[in-house]
Each structure stands twice: as structure tokens, then as C-alpha cells.
Structure 1
Amino acid sequence: MKKATRIATIGIMSALATGLMFLEFPIFPAANFLKFDPSDILPLLSGFIFGPLDGILVLLIKDLLFYLLKSGDIVGIAMNFAAGVSFLLPAVYIYKIRKNRVFEIMGYVVGVLSVTGIMTVLNMLVVPLYWKIPMSETVKLLPYIAGFNAIKFSIDSVVNGLIRERISKIFEN
């Protein structure tokens, strides 16, 4: 693929992912600060098609644009980026070992487990400082945080699994 085409595609994927961040809704009413949005599907798709660094680049651009356009919450955006990276890297690297459906699914599973564990620990560190709440209150939120990440990135995995092959064929050459 030509370099210009690749750069343009990364830009388009980033813009689309930013738009998808605006489609957000809470999964758990008790923890409505955890909002699902489908925006991590496009960085994951970019990672599968072009490589992990391009996927991370799409993720970074998406988060920076959303920060500038709507959020203004640097901690939330940083957490979103950390979650995206901790899911994307294992999923893409495992798939790259052997590009077949079994390794793709293994990548998704390891990615979901990775992001769920990493974000649970990261939230234990960040939430008490950011919200200025005691650790005991943070611990009460951990099941929601773990469940949210497992659900969100499982949905992202299923959608990516359904569209990846068709979209990848567009970029074959």
C-alpha cells in the first residue's frame, strides 16, 4: 500500500473513531461514569490491517480530538487511551503470530482479560486521587469497572471479528 493511502486511511479511521466516541451510553446505572462507545473498534481494525503502531496512532488521534472537541477531562481521556492500548496490543500481536481465526479469537480473549485486569488496577490507583474518595469506596466500584471493560471490549471484539476480513480485503494489494 502506498504511504499516502495509508496516512489518509489512518486520518479517516481517526476521524470516524472520534465521531463514534460521541455515541456513548452507560452500561451500569450504578456507575454511569463508565460509558460504552464503539470508538475503539476502528483503532483495533487499523491495528489488524496496518500494524499495532498504526492502531495506537488512530487511538491517540481519536482521544486527542475528543479531548479538544468535547471532553476537557485529561484524566478520563488518558484512562481511555490506556484501556485502548492494553486491549489493542495483545489482540493484534497474538493475531500477527499466525493470521487465522483461532489466533484472532485468542487475541481478543487475551486482550479482554488484559484490559480488564489493567484497568481495574489502574482505577484503584487513579480514582481515589482524582475523585478524592476513600479506597473503600473505590473498591465498591471495582466489580463495575471490571465488568464494564469486559463487556465493552468483548463487544468491540465481536464487531471487529465480523467486519475485519471484509474491510481488510479493501486494503490488499
Structure 2
Amino acid sequence: MKPYVLAVAAITLSLSACSTDPGENETETETPEVSTESQSPGSAESTEAPEPTEPIESTEAPEPTEQEPSENEQYVELFLEALDALDIEYSEPERVEAGGLSSASYDMTVTGSSSGIQVFATEETQAAWVEASNSLGGICVVIDGAALSLNSSEGIADSAEIAPQIAEEVGGTAHGN
């Protein structure tokens, strides 16, 4: 009986070790995870490094994009406010692919005729555009950084009449007929 009692005691001890400490077994299962975690800090460092770098890059990239349209929008709004103040009919400008010398272009109608707003990146490109417009008989209103190009064909009489008024309203210069 003594061997039986010893066998029961051994089984009881082994079962109690397994059944009373399931948390320890889970912890032991987690221990390899801890050892994996000890490998992860190296991985975590490489994971942490791109995370701060990526948001900085993504934060920096939209800023110029956001600033560019707001600068363009200021020019558009300036011309629209002048047209409103002068009670001149116009359609809402629609951004289109920029022309050869402009950095941004907007198509619209003014007094029912095709017109547009051009935004320029440099004074030199703006001067070249104004020279080209003048040589082609164009009518436009120029401010520093932008121009309102008015129709110089079917609506030329209206354009020639309103260009000086718009120029005065925006503090710019009228060019053309």
C-alpha cells in the first residue's frame, strides 16, 4: 500500500502542479512571447523610426499643396470681388490645366464671353504672358502674380469697356484695346 500511496501522492503533486498554476503555464506560454518581445524591441525601434518619419513627410507634403491653392484662390477671389462690386456678370471659375506660362488657370465667362484667370509663378513668366497677349491683340487686367484675360473676339467691345474699370477696382493695369 505504501507504493500505492506514493503513486497517488506523486500523481496528486503532478496534477496539482498542472491544475493549480494554469496562470504559470500561460505565463510560460507568454514567456516565449516575452523572448519574442525582447527581439521585438529591435523591430519596434525600426517600426518606431518610420512612424515619426512618415507623418513628418506626409505633414510636409500637404502643406505646400494647401498653400498653393489658397494663394491661387486669393487671386481668383480678388477678381471675383471686383466683378461683383462692378455688377459685371460672370460664371464661376473652373480650374483647368495650366497654360504654357501660367502656374494655374481658371476658365470662366465674363459678360457672357469666354475669359480666364491666369496665375504666374514668377514676374518674368507674367511679363512674357502679358507681352504675348498684347502682341495677339488680347485684353487683360494684370495684378502682381495674376491676370484676368478677357475675350478679345466676339466680346471685344465689352472687354475693352470693362477692363479699365476692373483694373481700377483690383489696383492693377488694363492691357489691350
Whether TM-score is above 0.5 comes out as: no
**TM-score normalised by length of structure 2:** 0.32
Bigger Rg, structure 1 or 2:
2
Q: Which is richer in strand?
A: 2
Higher relative contact order (CA 8 A, sep 6+): 1
